[in-house]
Amino acid sequence: MTFNLISIIQQKVRTDFDMLLSTVTDADGQKCSADQMERYLFKQLLCLGAELMQLFFDVRSETCSRKAAANEAGKTLPYHSDRTRDYFSVFGELTITRPYFYRKNDGGYIPLDAELGLGADCYSDFLRELHDELSVYIPFAKEVEIIDRFFDISLSTRCTQQFIETDAADAAAYYEQKPPPPVEEDASILVLQADGKGIPIIKASASKDKVRLKRGEARSRKKAVTATAIYTLQPATRSVDTVMASLLKEGETKTDLNRSRPQHKQIWGTLQSKKADLDRLQGEVNQRMGDHSQHRVMLCDGDKSLQSHLTTRFSDFTLILDFIHAYEYLWQVANALYGEDDPDRHAWILEQTHHLLNGQAYDLAITFRQLAKEKGRSASQQKVLREVANYFENNRAYMDYAAYLQKGWPIASGVIEGVCRHFVKDRMELSGMRWSIDGAESLLHLRAVAENNDWETYHRFRKQQRQQRLCKRDWPLYIGEGAYDETEAVILQLMAEPEP
């Protein structure tokens, strides 16, 4: 493309912009409603953006040297020809012309692809990230519909799923290299929380042609996501009476008091084994621990396997059984003994909760076993009493709530419960959803990036990693970060030229 043709495109950009100015200020335009004008301008500015983006690519192509160029292996290749590639952006489909350098036996090389920071496919990073960010919160079909409606860009749900799988590939590496928060911003209690949440996974079928399933047969199975959270917290000493008052306020089961909020919380979810996930968590713990970490605690429910993994891996942490889980077990006993309508049930719960918070879990277990042996107990009552007694007895080492409250430690795993509900369930268990292992894992990783407020920094890291893999060179600098080269100078000169 010659500078004369570039000037023609430049003139068209000016003409189209002048038309927009005229539309906004002329008599007909002034009769429009604000909504009509806003929608019209949005569409027209997208068209103008496409023209400017095409101008950008054309100038880059024109100013790119056609002299012999050295490839990544250091071999000097002669100019062969110009080649084009499609580029799908938020402004629509564009074409990039690039000089191609080639020698037989040494292969081909296109340096402009590296200079522009292009990926292996034809989609812009801006378009990909727009799809990615919507996809981590809403179903693929809905996010594709939204992009199509506003930008007139129609992609398949399979395409946006491929964006997720590709763009999530560097998430684990990102967190491995992410520096810990400043010590002065961290609190003195280092807290770990972990839990599991099942999601529907596509089940391989021996007969893919089967249309109708047998009774009780399903096309999916559940596989547990191991969800973890790490954060720091300031100690908050509380009395048993204070917690009781908060817990039973207006009948709500919550223990939130006026305490400090978690600092620098980081969550993660994976379908890999517990061991693999705790290997990753160990790296985060090693980064976060220091002299300022005066207390180290971890919370989970009664999952014995998870407890075993945690206590083995993090032996210098104190494991705490989530109090709300234990509290709910008391309600099971209360319902079994009194029924849901008996007015004496509430008074019984108050008394037993007071015992539980005072670290008397083992005493409660003994009491429940004695109650199960009383004459007249039904089989269902005996079953509940024995199950809860077993639960309390097996977990009594992690239920010294009076001591935990005195030290100002957290006793409820509300953070990880929220992670399982919001981070996993609200996106992964919508009606009719079934996931492949790889697809679910990728979405969980990108969703963690979004929930941890690392979106911009992660995608910058991702593009840098891709640039190194494809071109073995650094990602081009952003505008405003020193990226002012001859191409920008040419564009500014062209735009500053007076009209003929």
**Residue 253, pLDDT above cutoff 50:** no
**Going by DSSP bridges, is the β-strand pair 318-321/295-300 parallel, antiparallel, or unpaired?**
parallel
The pLDDT of residue 399: 96
Mean pLDDT of the chain: 88
Of residues 479 and 223, more confidently modeled: 223
Q: What gap in Å lies between CA 132 and CA 167, rounded to an integer?
A: 8
Token pair in block for residue 18: 């002048």
Write the pLDDT tens digit of every residue in 257-297: 456 789 999 999 999 988 888 889 999 999 888 888 899 99
User: What is the largest distance, in Å, between two alpha-carbon atoms of the chain?
Assistant: 105
Q: Which residues have a Cβ under 8 Å from the Cβ of 376 and sit 6 or more positions away?
A: none
Range picked from 47-51, 203-207, 250-254 for highest mean pLDDT: 47-51
Of 161-170, 219-228, 397-406, 475-484, the poorest mean pLDDT is in 475-484
Q: How much of the chain exceeds pLDDT 70, in percent?
A: 89
The pLDDT of residue 71: 87
Q: How much of the chain exceeds pLDDT 90, in percent?
A: 69
Of 272-276, 298-302, 494-498, the poorest mean pLDDT is in 494-498
The pLDDT of residue 179: 93
Q: How confident is the model at residue 6 (pLDDT cuts 50, 70, 90)?
A: confident
Q: Which residues have a Cβ under 8 Å from the Cβ of 336 and sit 6 or more positions away?
A: 380, 381, 384, 385
Of residues 250 and 210, more confidently modeled: 210
Q: What gap in Å lies between CA 173 and CA 67, rounded to an integer?
A: 38
- Per-residue HEC secondary structure of 343-391 comes to CHHHHHHHHHHHHHHCCCHHHHHHHHHHHHHCCCCCHHHHHHHHHHHHH
The pLDDT of residue 426: 92
**Residue 48, pLDDT above cutoff 60:** yes
Burial class (CB in 10 A: 0-12, 13-18, 19+), 299: buried
Backbone angles phi, psi at 75, to 5 degrees: -85, 135
**Residue 209, pLDDT above cutoff 70:** no
Mean pLDDT of 386-415: 94
Mean pLDDT of 300-305: 91
Q: Which residue has the tokens 């430049």?
A: 10
The pLDDT of residue 252: 43
Would you call 74 helix, strand, or coil by DSSP?
coil
The pLDDT of residue 215: 53
The pLDDT of residue 245: 85
**Residue 18, pLDDT above cutoff 60:** yes
The pLDDT of residue 261: 85
